[in-house]
Amino acid sequence: MSPDPLRYQCLNDEQAAVAEAAELTFASSTPSAGEGWSGISIPEELGGSGGGATELAAVVEALGAATSDSPLAWTLAVFAAVLLQADRRPDTLLADIARGTLNASIPISPGADEGLLLVHPTSDGRITGSFLALGAPRATLALPVLVDGTEALALIHPDQDGVAATAVTGLDASRPWTKCDLREVRLSCESLHPVSGLTAKLHRVLGIYAALDAVGAARKALERTLSYARVREQFGRPLGSFQAYKHACSTAFISLKLAQSVSFRAATTPGDEGLRYALASAVDATASATRVCMTAIQLHGGIGFSAESGLDRYLRRSRADELIVGRRHSMGALVHTLSAVRTANHEEERA
C-alpha cells in the first residue's frame, strides 16, 4: 500500500503508525486517561512513553486533522513542554499529566504586539484580572507571571477562592474556551514554577502547537476536496478533470507541503535555529493552512459554504490558530525572543 501523499513524508514507519492511530482514535472519541496518549512526550521514568519531538508533533498534527476537542494537544505541546524546561523539573506534575489526571488551560492574548500575556501580581502575591484561556473551565490555569523579577508559571486551580471560570463559545467551537475572572487570587510558593526565559519559550511552543494543529486541519480539508473532485460531476465529467480545478488543487497541495515542512522542522529542531523555524511556522504555516481551507470550501461549490458540508470546522480551526499567534510573531518579536533565549541560555551556563 503506497503512503498517503498528503501526509508528512519524513516520518519513519513507527512515527507514521503513531500519527495514523492518533487521528483514528481522536476522530471517533476522546480517549480515556488509561490509553497512554497523555504521556506520549513524558519521560518513561515519570510514567510516560518517552516519545521524542517528532512523535509529539505527529500526534498534534493528527489532532488538528480530527478537529478534536481533547486537551491533550495544548497540555502536552505547550504546558508540559514548558514544565520540562523549568528551572527545577516538577516531576510530580509531569507524572500527573502522563496519567491523564492533570489538564491545563493556556491564557491567550490574540494579536498582542508585545508577546504573550505576562501578569504582575501585587506585592502580597495576589492577582486580579480577566483572561481568555484555551481549555475547559475545570482545567488548571497555567498563568505566566513575573514575581520579583523572575518569570514563572503560576498554576491556579478553578476551585481556589476568587476564581470564576466560565465556558465560552468562540470562532472555533471544536475546542473548549474559558473566560477566567480572577479577583484577589493569592499565589502560593508551591504553585509557582520558575522558568528562565519563560516568555520566549512560550512563544516557541505555542507557535509550534498552533502551526501543527492548523496544518492538520488543512490536510483533512484538502483530502476531502480531492475525494469530492473524483465523484462530483459537472457537464458529464468529474470536477477533477477540469484544468482550472486541477491547478487550484495543485496550488493548495504545494501550500500544504510547505506548511508541513516548516512546522515539523520547527518542532524537531533545537536551539536558536529551531526558534526561527517556530516563529516562521507560526506566521506562514497557519496562514497557508487557512488559505488551503478556504480553497477547499471554494472547490466544493455552493455546498462548501453550508454547515452541512462540515468544511467550516477546518477553516475555523486554522483561522483560530492564526489568531492565537496573532501579530506577536513580527520581526520585532523575533528579535526580542531570540535575545531573551540567548540571555536565558547564558544565565543557565553561568549557573
Series of mean pLDDT values for 10-residue runs along the chain (351 residues) = 79 88 81 71 92 92 92 92 94 94 86 60 90 93 92 95 92 91 92 92 90 96 91 71 84 95 91 77 90 93 80 93 68 41 48 53
CATH 2.40.110.10 domain position(s) in the chain: 105-194
Rounded CA separation 106/293 (Å): 25
CATH 2.40.110.10 fits 105-194, yes or no: yes
pLDDT for 1 = 37
Neighbours of 101 (CB within 10 A): 10
If you classify domain 198-350 with CATH, what class do you get? mainly alpha
Neighbouring residues of 75: CB distance < 8 A, sequence distance ≥ 6:
38, 97, 102, 103, 104, 135
Tell me whether strands 150-156 and 192-194 are parallel, antiparallel or unpaired: antiparallel
Q: Degrees (nearest 5) of the Cα angle 230, 233, 236? A: 125
This prediction's pTM: 0.87
CA-to-CA distance for 269 and 264, rounded, in angstroms?
9
Query: What is the rounded distance in angstroms from the CA atom of residue 100 to the CA atom of residue 38?
Result: 6
Helix locations, the chain, DSSP H: 13-28, 53-65, 72-74, 81-83, 91-99, 198-231, 243-268, 271-280, 286-299, 312-325, 331-350
DSSP 8-state code for residue 4: P
Whole-angstrom Cα distance, residue 49 to residue 110?
Answer: 33
Do the beta carbons of residue 191 and residue 140 sit within 8 Å?
no
Task: Please tell me the predicted confidence (pLDDT) of residue 137.
Answer: 95
The CA angle 58-64-67, to the nearest 5 degrees, is 145
Q: Which long-range contacts (CB under 8 A, 24 or more apart) does 229-235 make?
A: 229/299, 232/301
Domain with CATH 1.20.140.10 in the chain: 198-350
**Number of residues in the chain:** 351
Give the relative orientation of helices 198-231 and 243-268 as an angle to the nearest 10 degrees.
150
Q: What are the residues facing 167 on neighbouring strands? A: 178
Closest CA to 312 of 171, 186, 185: 171
- pLDDT on residue 116: 59
Q: What is the largest CA-CA distance in the chain?
A: 74
Cell 517528532, located at residue: 54
Question: Whole-angstrom Cα distance, residue 308 to residue 320?
Answer: 21
Helices 286-299, 312-325: axis angle to 10 degrees equals 160
Helix and strand element counts for the chain (H, E):
11, 9
Chain centroid to CA 11: 19
Contact criterion met (CB below 8 Å) for 279 and 267: no
Whole-number Å distance between alpha carbons of 40 and 8: 19
The letter for the amino acid at 337 is: T
